Amino acid sequence: MSLDRRISLITLGVADVQASAAFYERLGWARSSASQEQIVFIKLKGLALGLFSRDELAKDANLPEAGAAGFSGITLAHNLQSPEAVDAAMALAVASGARQVKAPEKVFWGGYSGYFADPDGHLWELAHNPFAPLDEAGHMTLPD
């Protein structure tokens, strides 16, 4: 047996579910009708984003309460069609309440990217990668 090569749901542990949901709604991402008071689901292309209490998520995974500041070891990426689209997306994120961590710029691997932190500190990369273009549906294309 092997697992299908896909991710169904990315759940972010957040301090305030409704405040976090409001931030993502300001980015133009709508809640699914499957959302409840204690968990919000946002449909993305090919997967879903979940927003759930950080403490409850740790408890659900049978782990101690989430803690310390600093790099968590994970970033989420949103790839865009051009450097100009990256700049526009960063402006939208900051206007919606994000904190810019790294301004968009040409980067060592030949693309263009920047980072923002959402209100709970989750790092998002906004990137244009000329080596992995987006298809018509907005999905990143990679060679086999």
Q: What is the overall mean pLDDT for the chain?
A: 90
**Global pTM value:** 0.83
**In the beta sheet, which residues pair with residue 11?**
50
Whether pLDDT at 133 is above 90: no
Letter string b/e over residues 63-75, b meaning 16 or more CB atoms within 10 A of that residue's CB: eeeeeeeeeeeee
Span 47-83, pLDDT tens digits: 899 999 988 888 877 777 766 566 777 889 999 999 9
pLDDT, mean of residues 98-108: 96
**Which residue segments constitute the domains of the chain, with CATH numbers given?**
1-63 (3.10.180.10), 74-144 (3.10.180.10)
**Residue 126 pLDDT:** 95
Q: Which of 24, 11, 82 is nearest to 53 (CA)?
A: 11
Percent of the chain at pLDDT > 90 equals 65
Confidence band for 124, pLDDT divided at 50, 70 and 90: very high
pLDDT, mean of residues 15-37: 96
**Residue 138 pLDDT:** 85
Confidence band for 144, pLDDT divided at 50, 70 and 90: low
Q: Are 30 and 64 in contact (CB under 8 A)?
A: no
Confidence band for 35, pLDDT divided at 50, 70 and 90: very high
Whether pLDDT at 85 is above 70: yes
